[in-house]
Amino acid sequence: MEDHAGVETAGGKPKSNRGTMTAIVEVKAVSKRFGAFHAVRDCSLSVEEGSITGLIGPNGAGKSTLFNIMAGAFPPTSGHILFKGQDVTELSAHELFSLGMLRTFQIAHEFSNLSVLENLMMVPDGQNGEDLISAWFQPSRVATEESAIMKKADEVIDFLKLKRVRNEPAGNLSGGQKKLLELGRTMMVDAKLVLLDEIAAGVNRTLLKDLAENIVRLNRELGYTFFVIEHDMDFITQLCHPVIVMASGTVMTQGHIDDIKADERVIEAYFGGSPSGHATTPDTAPGAPQ
């Protein structure tokens, strides 16, 4: 079937390209304190390989802090993170990047003066051209590698339909195009798990459809696993299964989005109840994203 935004889904959720799924990342009893403030509290969850898993919750629920811990921005106060069965709790963001765990940000982090092509070509780590000795004494090796990276970047540009802005400075792109570029950077290193932090923020509905379609294609065709923080409930409904709900620094519940929307605890914590005492639905609750 095809949903309201035009992205094909199966039974209301994205089709997985895998059979029996196993956890690609596990969060085990993770807590994070900043002084007296307990941002994440004894949080445990897992993301299945091959899934597009959503993470929702009210502001201050600890979602972005959890993402920062998972992505190696800072360590937890206690608990462990496992990635493909390996304890990566103490690894840095750079080390996790090398293992295939990447994180995007609510505000795109492009090199504004470099072109779209150059932004993509900057991504692969350990390029020979970065070494002065190689650049001087092995120019043919450097040129061959650069040609291969450029070919890969052009393939990514074609995949994301960014060809018309290939040589445009990234700072000139629209908000939605910058988010597509962020997604493209994950493709330059064949990511295994991508943490998407409010990728829909500031994106118009047309480009949001393109973003959703490309996330589904990366999931189905290249086997990417996505873990998505998002406040846009239409976007979450369109893409994610399962959906995990955080509140007060820990997991409240998880399941299919239809069940989440009907859960009175979620309505109360995330959307707020109606003045009459009858819970509103997530689609009509005061302040609910439209």
Inter-axis angle of helices 175-187 and 205-222, nearest 10: 10
Q: Which of 123, 148, 172 is the last residue of a domain?
A: 172
Contact present, 156 and 190 (Cβ < 8 Å):
no
**What tokens does 242 get?**
């399962």
| CATH code assigned at 275 | 3.40.50.300
Domain holding 100, by residue range, is 1-110+183-290
Tell me: the pLDDT tens digits for 33-42? Answer: 999 999 999 9
Q: How confident is the model at residue 20 (pLDDT cuts 50, 70, 90)?
A: low
Q: Are residues 99 and 123 in the same domain?
A: no
Higher pLDDT, 207 or 27: 27
User: What is the C-alpha separation between 12 and 175, in angstroms, rounded?
Assistant: 28
Q: How confident is the model at residue 2 (pLDDT cuts 50, 70, 90)?
A: very low
pLDDT at 239 over 70: yes
pLDDT at 280 over 80: no
Q: Are residues 55 and 143 in the same domain?
A: no
Q: Are residues 91 and 209 in the same domain?
A: yes
Instruction: List residues bridging with 246 in a β-sheet.
Output: 251
CA 62 to the chain's CA centroid: 16
Q: Are residues 200 and 97 in the same domain?
A: yes
pTM of the model: 0.80
Q: Are residues 205 and 102 in the same domain?
A: yes
Lowest-confidence segment of 57-71, 87-101, 134-148 by average pLDDT: 134-148
pLDDT at 12 over 80: no
Mean of the pLDDT values across residues 97-121? Answer: 86
Q: Considering its fold, how many domains does the chain have in total?
A: 2
Q: Are residues 144 and 39 in the same domain?
A: no
Tell me: the pLDDT tens digits for 160-194? Answer: 989 999 999 999 998 889 989 988 988 888 789 99
SS3 category, 152: helix
Q: How far apart are the first and last CA of the chain?
A: 22
Q: Are residues 188 and 103 in the same domain?
A: yes
Higher pLDDT, 254 or 106: 254
Q: Are residues 235 and 284 in the same domain?
A: yes
User: What is the C-alpha separation between 94 and 133, in angstroms, rounded?
Assistant: 24
Report if residue 266 sits inside a domain.
yes
| Nearest residue to 146 via CA among 126, 166, 129, 123 | 129
Report if residue 178 sits inside a domain.
no
Which range is most confident: 9-23, 101-115, 174-188? 174-188
The overall average pLDDT reported for the chain is 83
pLDDT at 25: 98
Q: Phi/psi at 268 (nearest 5 deg)?
A: -70, -45
The strands making up 243-247's β-sheet, listed across from edge to edge, are: 101-103, 193-197, 225-229, 52-56, 243-247, 250-255
pLDDT at 290: 34
How many beta carbons lie within 10 A of that of residue 213, not counting itself?
A: 17
